[in-house]
Each structure stands twice: as C-alpha cells, then as structure tokens.
Amino acid sequence: MHLKVCDREAVGVSAKSVSDFLMSEHFGKHELIEGSPNDRLAEIKFKRFGVLSISEHCFGCEAKLNALGSSENFHLQVVLSGESVVQSRGLIQRLRHGDSMMLAPHSSFTSTYSADCRKLIICIPASFIEQTAFEFGYRVHKGTIEFSFEKKRLPHSALLSVYWKLYCNSLKIIPMIEALCITTNYLRIW
C-alpha cells in the first residue's frame, strides 16, 4: 500500500481557494469574508484517512467564516496557532493555541480567524462516532450523541500537533483515534 504525505497541499494560495477546497471535501457549506485580503498567503494540507478528512489550514488574513449548517459530520477543531472565536446559538468561545472544540452536524456557526490562526480540523462522519460508541458498549441511536459547546484545552495538544507533523513528514500511520479519545470529557450520549 502506498501512502502519500498529504492528498493535497497548497502554499501561497488565496483564502477563497482554501475555502472552496474545504467545501468540495464536505467540510460544510459556508461563506468566507476576508478582513483584509492578502492574495496568496493562505495554505492548506489535506488528507483523507479512512472515513476521516483531515485539514490543516490558515487563511493568511483575518477572516470570518459563516457555516450554514449543511455538514452531516462532526468537526473536531484544534487551534494550532493564533486565535479563533466561534459563535453559535448565542454562545461564544474564544479558542487559542491548544484549545479544541467539537462542532455537531448541521450546526450553524460563525468562526473568526486571526491573521495568524492555523487550525487542524478533523471531519468525522456522525455514523463513525455512533458506530465507535456502539462498539465500546454504548447504546446509541442515530442523532443522540452530542458534545457541549465549549472549548477544551487538550492536555496533549502539543502531542497532537507533533503526531500530525510526524505524519506529514514521515508517512507513518498515526493513531488518530487517540486524538478523538481525549475529547471525550465533554461527550454526552443520551
């Protein structure tokens, strides 16, 4: 089996190009508003890892992303650098380096990015989380898993970042499920 570092990688592209690519890979429909467009400062790394889609990206400028609630996937967002403010249903969370947040399928939200904000986003099908919960002995029904709308400091965020860098640099398969397991302190299964 031949593994590539990333399925797609682009440096020195427009923020709109990154936004369009994320939508094409089912990260959800959204509108991107650039604060001060700097052509060709955005970058993205993308990898499909089984049913997971993994993106590390930055827009290269201050930006506001309005998600329209169309994604059928969970999104684990980890801020690798800079700052992002996420707003949904009147709630606001300010995410900084090492903070994470899990966004539910069909969530409408606004996410602002600082010019130096870099995020790792793991797009996880709801069916994958439901099946995993079932395999761990939980009785789950479709649509009954939810995560609270709050940021969590990843105790191993540096480790997560190192795993991703090692993966991208050395082609070693990493246990991505480990990254998901450390988010379970704010998981609720009804």
Q: What is the mean pLDDT of the chain?
A: 81
Ramachandran sector of residue 182 (left: φ over 0; alpha: ψ -120 to 50; beta: rest): alpha
Token digits for 83? 């700052």
- Say whether 188 sits in a helix, a strand or coil: strand
Residue 5: per-residue pLDDT: 74
Give 79-126 as a DSSP string: EEESEEEEEETTEEEEEETTEEEEE-TT-EEEEEE-TT-EEEEEEEEH
Q: Where are the domains of the chain?
A: 8-189
Residue with tokens 């990154």: 18
Cα-to-chain-centroid distance, residue 160: 13
Q: Which CATH superfamily is domain 8-189 in?
A: Jelly Rolls (2.60.120.10)
- Say whether 132 sits in a helix, a strand or coil: helix
Residue 29: per-residue pLDDT: 87
Residue 69: per-residue pLDDT: 83
CA distance 174 to 178: 9
Residue 124: per-residue pLDDT: 92
Residue 1: per-residue pLDDT: 42
- Say whether 61 sits in a helix, a strand or coil: coil
Is this prediction's pTM over 0.85? no
Residue 4: per-residue pLDDT: 59
Question: Do 56 and 44 form a contact (C-beta atoms < 8 A)?
Answer: yes
CA distance 135 to 132: 5
Token digits for 4? 């590539």
Between the alpha carbon of residue 57 and those of residues 19, 47, 51, 172, the distances in Å are 10, 12, 19, 21
Could you read off the pLDDT of 139-188 as tens digits, one per residue? 877 777 888 889 998 765 455 555 555 444 443 333 343 444 434 444 55
Q: Which residues of the chain have pLDDT under 50?
A: 1-3, 157, 166-186, 189-190
Question: Do 147 and 187 form a contact (C-beta atoms < 8 A)?
Answer: yes
Token digits for 2? 């031949």
Residue 31 DSSP one-character state: E
Residue 156: per-residue pLDDT: 55
